[in-house]
Each structure stands twice: as C-alpha cells, then as structure tokens.
Amino acid sequence: MAGKALICGGSISGLFTAAALLAKGWETEIFERSPVELAGRGAGIVTHPELVSALVAVGAETDRLGVDVHERVAYDLHGHRVQSFEFHQVVTSWDRIFQILRSMVPDDTYRSGSEAVGFREREGAVELALSDGRRVEGDILIGADGFRSAIRAQTLPDVKPEYSGYVVWRTLAAQTDLSSAIRDDIFQTFGFFVPNGTQIIGYPIAGPNNDLRPGHLRYNFVWYSEVSEEELRDMLTDAQGVLHPVTIPPPLVRTDVLRRMRKEAQSRLPAPFNDILKVSDRPFFTPIYDHLSPSMAFGRVLLAGDAACVSRPHAGMGVTKAAGDAAALAEHLEKSPVLDGLRAYSKERTAAARVAYETSRRLGSLVFNCDRNENLDGRSHPEIHAIMHKTAVVPPALRTQIRSSS
C-alpha cells in the first residue's frame, strides 16, 4: 500500500481523488457531511475530452455518458437563428458523473454523515477531527469539501468566495412537454441567447435515471441574471423571514421571488425559452461566487476541486478541473515522496486553477460589464463569436494538463 489518504468531502472532487489514488495503490477513506446520498437536482454538466480521459484513466465506464450535441446556435429575441456552427460535445448531468464515480469507491470507505471540523499535523502523519468527536489518522488529508471548505478555512482563512453580482436560474423540462417546433430546433442544439446584461444557455440531457432514449430526454435551462447584493439578501430570505447565508435550499425560495423571475423572463427572454420555462420543473437559483487559493498544499494537507478554486460556470470547468486535480495528485505522489509530491501538485494545479478562474471571469464580464441598454434583442453582441466559441470549452492552456492514462 502506498499510504492512507483521508478525504474530506464525498462529492465529485472527493470521489475523483479517491478513484485516482485507489488506482495507484493508496488506501482511501472519504468523510462526507451529508447523511443522505448526494444528488445534483438534475443539473446539466458539459463534458470535455479531458474529462473523459480522466474517467478512463481511473477505470470508469464512459459509455452512455450523455447526449451528443452537434451544433451551437445563438437565437435572437424572436427565436430566430443569429449564428450557428458545427460543434460536437457530450452533455451529461451531475448525477450521471456522480454515479459513475461513486461506483468506483468501496461502500465501506465512504462515510456519510461525517463532518470534518479541523485537523492537526504531526510528524509523518495528519489527524482529522470529526464533529462527533472521532479522530482519524492518515498520511495525507485532502480538502475536497467544496467552496466553503472547512479545511481551507483552517489553512487559508483569508480566502473567501466573492459574489459575482449575478445568479444562475436553472431548471429542466421534459422533452415530451415541449412543442414540436422547440423539439425540432432549440432542443437539438447547444443554444445561446446573448443580449447585453443577461444570458441563456441550454442543451438536452438524459431523462431521469440516465434515460437516453429519444423522446425521453430533458432540456437543461440555464439563465444568468444580474442581482444586486441587496436583492440577493431578499432572495435568500425564506417565507419565515430566515436569511440563508450564501445559498437557499430550492424548496424554500419564496413564491414571490419565483413570480418576479417569471415576470422578468417574460419581458426579456425569447418566446421559445419562455415556453420551455413554463413547462419546466420548479426553477432554482444559485448565486455565482468564485475564489482562487494561492496555494493548494500545506505540508500533508491539500485542497482539490471547488475547495481550492471555484471558477464561474461559464467555462464549464468545475468537474474537469476536479478530475485534473485528482490525476495530477496521483501522479505526483507516485513519482515523489509525499511532501515533494504535494509541493509539485500545488505548483501545477494552482497555475491550472488560475487559468480556469480567469477565463471564466473574462467570459462573465462579456455578459455583464457592458451597456445593458444595447443589443436587447441578442443580435449584435460584439463578442458573440468569443462567447459561443469559449463557453463550456477547455481553455487552450489547460488542454494538455489532464493525464490520458493511469
């Protein structure tokens, strides 16, 4: 056995890390705060060849990964095509990636309902403290505990997620509930609507339980909308007057907040996207935050995935970045003694995270740092080419970062 890795967080990054280390002979133990199996509320995830390579490298199955989309199309306010080009991409769902990775990790090493509260490093080992008083010892500790990481809070207390000034509304609509006009056009594409000051993207994903049969798919609707900090505080306050810090569980979003969103959609979005919204599941919103850690390893403790860096979703890099972290970690630990390996990991992956973080910020600024009164119909965005070619695409500087074999 190469060593024992304690992993805090049992979501995409924690599972990818476990799978990559298991493939190199490490013993792993995952501590996940949630007492119930995680679920992604059907959120869509864009895949990249680098993500598929990383899955293959850890021995995961990649067949039936998602839906093949062949074209990117921008629509205007009237639902007419403004620009289009051929672009092949597999789009999947958070749940599908989670299920694939979860099946790679033995059940008796995945501890649900185990919340990490801190750690202590000792000579040659690290000890993780859990909220129920348990202490666990390992050779390394990985903070894969998401953007509000407890492990990062102990190592880098000054790194805090920063609110972008906008939220993303997401929902899913069943293919069968859509009109034939939508099914035959927008539904088949990776679609955009890019007026100044707001943005829609959408694409088809599998139906429930990864149902890829034609006719059984769902449309993944993603709408970025500007929201001031004051307005956000109101949106994060539930009907009982309780303010939820950072994010609010979707069922607690007040009905008047949903009503306001639908009214805004009615006035700003093309009719076909509004029609999709009308037949969709209850929409939920996520405020967009980002952060970048200046270093990803501290002695025997390291950060991975969103705990290390959240890049805004525009580049669609979160899962692929987590995969890259896991692959790099496993390789550096195979090549070098632990402390040297972690230093090399930190150097390589902090640089990669910076590229994802900056690329996504730039893409976000194309939507929001512009005159909101121009291009209301989405026909004349000066950066439409960049938006359509760079959204949910791996930035060139990261294309060789992910290992293609174990």
Nearer to ligand FAD, 320 or 346 (CB): 320
For strand 309-310 and strand 301-303, is the pairing parallel, antiparallel, or unpaired? unpaired
Q: At what angle do helices 338-368 and 318-335 cross, to 10 degrees?
A: 160
Judged by CB under 6 A, the residue of 19, 29, 33, 171 near ligand FAD is 33
Q: Could you tell me which stretch among 65-73, 139-147, 179-187, 269-277 binds ligand FAD (CB under 6 A)?
A: 139-147
Contact flag: residue 127 with ligand FAD (CB under 6 A): no
Site map (CB under 6 A) of ligand FAD, residues 152-171, x = contact: ----------------x-x-
Positions in 186-205 near ligand FAD (CB under 6 A): none
CB 297 within 8 A of CB 137: no
Q: Could you tell me which stretch among 153-161, 182-190, 241-249, 309-317 binds ligand FAD (CB under 6 A)?
A: 309-317
Q: Could you tell me which stretch among 8-16, 184-192, 272-280, 295-303 binds ligand FAD (CB under 6 A)?
A: 8-16
Judged by CB under 6 A, the residue of 77, 309, 392, 394 near ligand FAD is 392
For strand 301-303 and strand 140-143, is the pairing parallel, antiparallel, or unpaired? parallel
Contact flag: residue 317 with ligand FAD (CB under 6 A): yes
Minimum CB separation of residue 242 from ligand FAD in Å reads 20
Nearer to ligand FAD, 31 or 79 (CB): 31
Residue 363 DSSP SS3: helix
Nearer to ligand FAD, 77 or 168 (CB): 168
CB 379 within 8 A of CB 82: yes
**Rama region for 395: left / alpha / beta (φ>0; ψ in -120 to 50; rest):** beta
Residue 66 DSSP SS3: coil
Residue 303 sits at the vertex; the CA angle it makes with 394 and 14, to the nearest 5 degrees, is 75
Contact flag: residue 316 with ligand FAD (CB under 6 A): yes
Positions in 207-236 near ligand FAD (CB under 6 A): none
Residue 102 CA to residue 362 CA, distance in Å, equals 33
Task: Report DSSP letters for 91-106, one per residue.
Answer: EEEHHHHHHHHHTTS-
Report residue 325 CA to chain centroid gap: 14
Positions in 36-95 near ligand FAD (CB under 6 A): 38, 45-46, 94
CB atoms within 10 A of CB 286: 16
- Which residue's C-beta sits nearest to ligand FAD? 318
For 252-268, letters b (16+ CB in 10 Å) and e give: ebbeebbeebeeebeeb
Residue 20 CA to residue 13 CA, distance in Å, equals 11
Nearer to ligand FAD, 76 or 390 (CB): 390
CB 14 within 8 A of CB 29: no
Site map (CB under 6 A) of ligand FAD, residues 274-303, x = contact: ------------x-----------------
For strand 116-122 and strand 125-130, is the pairing parallel, antiparallel, or unpaired? antiparallel
For strand 162-174 and strand 140-143, is the pairing parallel, antiparallel, or unpaired? unpaired
Minimum CB separation of residue 114 from ligand FAD in Å reads 6
Q: Could you tell me which stretch among 102-110, 140-148, 196-204, 259-267 binds ligand FAD (CB under 6 A)?
A: 140-148
Euclidean distance between the first and the last CA atom of the chain, given in angstroms as a whole number: 17
Minimum CB separation of residue 115 from ligand FAD in Å reads 4
Judged by CB under 6 A, the residue of 322, 344, 367, 398 near ligand FAD is 322
Minimum CB separation of residue 314 from ligand FAD in Å reads 9
CB 94 within 8 A of CB 40: yes
Contact flag: residue 145 with ligand FAD (CB under 6 A): yes
Judged by CB under 6 A, the residue of 171, 320, 346, 350 near ligand FAD is 320
Count, residues near ligand FAD per rule CB under 6 A: 34
Judged by CB under 6 A, the residue of 26, 31, 119, 221 near ligand FAD is 31
Nearer to ligand FAD, 74 or 308 (CB): 308
Q: Which long-range contacts (CB under 8 A, 24 or more apart) does 243-248 make?
A: 246/148, 246/161, 246/287, 246/289, 247/286, 247/287
Judged by CB under 6 A, the residue of 5, 6, 7, 8 near ligand FAD is 8
Report residue 272 CA to chain centroid gap: 26
CB atoms within 10 A of CB 338: 16
Minimum CB separation of residue 281 from ligand FAD in Å reads 15
Binding-site ranges for ligand FAD (CB under 6 A): 8-14, 31-34, 38, 45-46, 94, 115-116, 144-146, 150, 168, 170, 286, 305-306, 313, 316-320, 322, 392
